A and B are shown apart, each in its own frame.
Chain A
Amino acid sequence: VMTQSPATLSVSPGDRATLSCRASQSVYSSIAWYQQKPGQAPRLLIYGASTRATGIPARFSGSGSGTEFTLTISSLQSEDFAVYYCQQYNNWPPVTFGGGTRVEIK
């Protein structure tokens, strides 16, 4: 089970956002982060816990291993307000997702 916190994060543009994802058992570094905007498919941001996907800005960074993971957005831009999901792909099947964190404008 993947648990994300908080459910909603209110942040001002330009501020840092820190999103958490906890696994019920170790997934080593087999975790990905996705961003989803309304009406769109999820977009891969991070895989392998800390590797940015192609074309993802450097303000997005991932860290952690085992059961505790963090996605950090260093300086929020207007286009970053969205829902973020973590996904584990170590103990699969099944692949599992967290419930999501909504990042909203403060």
Chain B
Amino acid sequence: EVQLVESGGGLVQPGGSLRLSCVASGFTFSSYEMNWVRQTPGKELQWVSYIKSSGSIIHYADSVKGRFIVSRDNAKNSLYLQMNSLRAEDTGVYFCARGSSGWGYWGLGTLVTVSS
């Protein structure tokens, strides 16, 4: 059974940092493209970042470029999102999702709250 489990969320002050993790199981992680997507308190879905299976291609949304860093460790079946210089508008539930043409598997998400 395919599973994606996010962790690392929490309450952080503006300007702070967090590192999210997504641990995959039930499939060959190293063969799949992965994404981070967030859902705002208003329920809007926003794509955040993409990383190719090998890690050789990475993309970011303009809103997080220069502040967030996506990476993966295929040996550990893990995806990461290093979030720096956090802002209030980064608040939301962060999901990892597998795929490119339609994302067939999502984790349950981890909540990030940026507030003083």
Contacts and interface: CB of A to CB of B under 8 A. Distances in A.
A32 to B, nearest CB: 4
Interface residues of B, number: 23
A7 to B, nearest CB: 11
Contacts, number: 59
Given A41-B106, A42-B106, A47 B101 contact: yes
Contacts of A46: 102
Interface residues of A, number: 24
B80 interface: no
Interface of B: 35, 37, 43-47, 50, 59-62, 95, 97, 100-104, 106-109
Given A47-B102, A100-B44, 7 more contacts: A48-B102, A92-B59, A94-B47, A94-B61, A96-B47, A97-B45, A100-B43
